[in-house]
C-alpha cells in the first residue's frame, strides 16, 4: 500500500496526530535519561511504543540524533527500525534539499527499501526549485514512499522567500503547492506528496491566494497546542482543506513521559483534541 493510502487509513483509525520524536537535552533530563546515543534510543523507542495504536505517525527529528555523530545516527536507525516493527508510520524530519546526484544520495539514504535509515516519508526543502526534488519524487513514486514539501513555515524569516513573487508573477509558496498537487492527480484516497504548512501562519494562505484544497495529499501542520494554534487558527489557515491536515505535536505530549502508559494517554488525548479542532 502506498504512503498516502496508509496515512489516510491511520488518520481514520487513530486520529490526525503525528507525534514528534524530539530528544532535546532538557527533555532527556526530565525523563531521567542521559544525553547520549543510548538515551536517545531509549527515548525514541518509548515514544514509538506509546504511539503504536494511538497516533497516525511519528516524526523523528534527525538533527537531535545527528548531533551525537555516528552513534547518534545509529540510534536514529534503531528508532526507525522499531517503528517498522510496531507498524507505526514514520516521517523523518530532515528537510533535505539539494541538486542532481546529491539529492539522489539523500533519496537513496531515506526512501530506498532496505536502507539503514529507511522511513515512510521524508520532509524536503524545494527552495532550490521544485524540480531539484526530482530524484526524491521519482524514488518515492517507485516505492510508494511519501514526501512532505516545505511550503509555508511559521518562522518569520521564511516569508522573505516563501511570500516572494517569482518572475512569472506567481507567489513562490503557491508554485510549490501547485507543483505538489500535480504529483497527486487521481490518487485515492490521497496522494503521497504532502506539504508542511505551519498552523500559526495566520491569513497567509488566503492573502497569497494559495489553493490548498486541490492538493489531494496530506498537510503536516506544526504549531498546534504548545505553540498556540487552536481551532480558530486551524480554520483560518486550512479552511476547507482541514480534512487533509495531520497535526504535529511534540512538547505537548512528550512532557507526559517517561512512562509509556502515561505517554500513551497523553497521545490519545492529543489525537482526540486534534480531531475536535479540525472539525471546528
Q: What is the pLDDT of residues 5-20, one digit of tens each?
A: 999 999 999 999 999 9
The total domain count for the chain is 1
* Candidates 59, 82, 95, 262; catalytic one: 95
* Whether residue 262 lies in the annotated active site: no
Q: Which of 111-115, 180-184, 209-213 has the lowest mean pLDDT?
A: 209-213
Question: pLDDT (tens digit, 9 = 90+) per residue, 28-69?
Answer: 999 999 999 999 999 999 999 999 999 999 999 999 999 999
Domain residues for the domain of 180 are 3-279
Q: Which pLDDT score is estimated for 65?
A: 98
CATH code: domain of residue 165: 3.20.20.70
Does 191 score more than 80 pLDDT?
A: yes
26-49 as b/e: b if 16+ CB within 10 A: ebbeebebebebebbbbbbbbbbb
Q: What percent of the chain has pLDDT over 90?
A: 89
Amino acid at each position: 500500500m502506498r504512503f498516502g493510502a496508509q496515512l489516510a487509513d491511520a488518520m481514520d483509525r487513530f486520529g490526525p496526530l503525528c507525534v514528534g520524536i524530539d530528544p532535546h537535552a532538557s527533555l532527556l533530563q526530565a525523563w531521567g535519561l542521559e544525553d547520549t546515543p543510548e538515551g536517545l534510543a531509549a527515548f525514541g523507542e518509548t515514544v514509538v511504543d506509546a504511539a503504536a495504536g494511538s497516533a497516525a505517525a511519528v516524526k523523528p527529528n534527525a538533527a537531535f540524533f545527528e548531533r551525537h555523530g555516528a552513534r547518534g545516527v545509529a540510534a536514529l536507525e534503531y528508532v526507525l527500525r522499531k517503528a517498522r516493527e510496531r507498524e507505526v508510520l514514520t516521517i523523518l524530519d530532515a528537510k533535505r534539499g539539494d541538486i542532481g546526484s546529491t539529492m539522489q544520495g539523500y533519496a537513496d539514504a531515506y526512501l530506498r527499501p532496505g536502507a539503514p535509515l529507511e522511513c515512510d516519508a521524508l520532509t524536503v526543502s524545494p527552495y532550490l526549485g521544485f524540480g531539484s526534488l526530482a530524484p526524491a519524487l521519482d524514488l518515492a513514486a517507485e516505492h510508494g514512499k511519501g514526501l512532505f514539501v516545505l511550503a509555508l513555515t511559521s518562522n518569520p524569516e521564511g516569508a522573505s522567500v516563501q511570500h516572494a513573487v517569482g518572475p512569472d508573477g506567481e507567489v513562490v509558496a503557491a508554485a510549490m503547492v501547485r507543483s505538489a498537487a500535480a504529483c497527486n492527480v487521481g490518487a485515492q484516497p490521497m496522494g503521497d506528496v504532502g506539504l508542511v504548512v505551519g498552523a500559526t501562519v495566520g491569513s497567509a494562505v488566503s492573502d497569497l491566494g494559495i489553493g490548498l484544497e486541490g492538493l489531494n495529499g496530506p498537510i503536516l501542520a506544526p504549531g498546534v497546542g504548545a505553540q498556540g494554534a487552536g481551532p480558530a487558527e486551524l480554520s483560518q489557515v486550512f479552511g476547507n482543506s482541514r480534512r487533509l491536515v495531520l497535526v504535529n505535536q511534540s512538547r505537548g505530549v512528550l512532557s507526559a513521559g517517561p512512562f509509556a502508559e502515561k505517554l500513551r494517554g497523553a497521545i490519545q488525548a492529543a489525537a482526540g483534541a486534534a480531531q475536535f479542532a479540525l472539525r471546528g
